[in-house]
Amino acid sequence: MISQADLAAPDVVAARLEGVDRVLHLAGVNQGDPTEVVAGNVKAAVALARGLRRCARQPGSVVFANSVLAGNGTPYGDSKAMAAATLADARPDLQDVRLPNLYGEHGRPFRNGVTATFCGLLADGRLPEVHEERELTLVHVTDAAARLLGTPASGPWDAAMPGLAITVPELSRRLAGYAATYRSGNLPSLTDRHAVRLFNTYRSHLVPSRHLLLARRQTADEAFRAVTAGAPGEVVRSTMRPGGCQVGRFHLATVRRILVLHGVAEILLRRVGHQAVVRLTVAGEEEVVVDVPTMWEYEIANSGVGELVMLTWTNAVMDQSCLDIYPSAGAAQQRGLVPVVA
């Protein structure tokens, strides 16, 4: 990591870059006074280029997170184009990655794009106001990260950055439909890559402060009902002895709904990279389901005196060749070490 303070010292930058495998230039300014936007984008590139020229052992590759708006005549677009040219002068093999409109879990409304803004408004019970008809190309942040890192394609991510072409009004209607369906306790149709990721993006704005982690069911048969019949999915029945614990893991894309049929489960959730833990205690007779958010670590323990029996639904059949399951440090290991949210 190179800080703003480091950028003012060319020798420090050169030392940090010396012989590394890959340099990712992700910093940028896209809001504020036009003069500050231009200065911020250009100055960072100039400082990085100066450090690169002082490296005795050059990095293996240099990647610039540019924008499809580069060179479009706006202060932001033109300054991104200037930054790319500055870096390419120092490294002619620069990988200049033009990123479109990105979206993903926990984006900040009114700051990280229209998708985050719409999701934040809907999570607050408000409807987005649409003032333009333009078409967007949306790419999920995990796909963009895979492209920047040069990661081979896998189930949860794709470095080819498959995009969704959608107009602003269509995006508003789709997200509003997800919100209305989810408020009823049901799951929307999740039949394609972007449907899953847009739904997960909306869900991320509901946790941890809102209570839709616990979606009340009417009958056992309705616990895993989706709007469209024939949507992909898998249901697994599992049991756990008293005192047993399922190790911590998290998903990047998989939608996971848990129904406790018998016994008492303690479910601990923690957003990846954060410390606060959400603790849910769920008994079979309570008739609730728990939806695990993507990019949240979860751990399940049998906190009762008898056997714990659960049904788990996922939106896709688990493919052993590209599992969307990643081990975590374990939320339970943080008990007593971090604040616990009841």
pLDDT in tens, 304-325: 999 999 999 898 877 666 688 8
CATH class, domain 214-341, is mainly beta
Q: Which pLDDT belongs to residue 146?
A: 94
The whole-number pLDDT of residue 339 equals: 33
Tens of pLDDT along the chain (342 residues) come to 888 888 889 999 999 999 999 999 999 898 889 999 999 999 999 999 999 999 999 999 999 999 999 999 999 999 999 999 999 999 999 999 999 999 999 999 998 899 999 999 999 999 999 988 999 999 999 999 999 999 877 778 899 999 999 999 999 999 999 999 998 888 888 888 999 999 999 999 998 766 556 655 555 556 666 554 456 688 889 999 999 998 899 999 999 999 999 999 999 999 999 988 888 999 988 878 899 999 999 999 999 999 999 999 898 877 666 688 888 865 445 443 333 333
Relative to beta strand 234-240, strand 245-250 is unpaired
Q: Which pLDDT value is given to residue 19?
A: 93
Length of the chain: 342
How is the chain split into domains, by residue range? Answer: 4-173, 214-341
pLDDT at res. 232: 66
What pLDDT does residue 51 have?
95
Are the CB atoms for 302 and 213 separated by under 8 Å?
A: no
**What pLDDT is recorded for position 231?**
61
Is 216 buried (19+), middle (13-18) or exposed (0-12) by CB count in 10 A?
exposed
Q: Quote the pLDDT of residue 95.
A: 97
Using H for helix, E for strand and C for coil, what is the string for the chain?
CCCHHHHCCHHHHHHHHCCCCEEEECCCCCCCCHHHHHHHHHHHHHHHHHHHHCCCCCCCEEEEEEECCCCCCCHHHHHHHHHHHHHHHHCCCCEEEEECEEECCCCCCCCCCHHHHHHHHHHCCCCCCCCCCCEEEEEEHHHHHHHHHCCCCCCCCCCCCCCEEEEHHHHHHHHHHHHHHHHCCCECCCCCHHHHHHHHHHHHCCCCCCCCCEEECCCHHHHHCECCCCCCCEEEEEEECCCCEEEEEECCCCCEEEEEEECEEEEEEEECCCCCEEEEEEEHHHCEEEEECCCEEEEEEECCCCCEEEEEEECCCCCCCCCCCEECCCHHHHCCCCCEEC
Single-letter amino acid code for the residue at 128: P
CA 208, distance to chain mean position in Å, is 15
Architecture of the domain whose range is 4-173: 3-Layer(aba) Sandwich (3.40)
- Provide the pLDDT for residue 105: 96
* Tokens describing residue 169: 């009004």
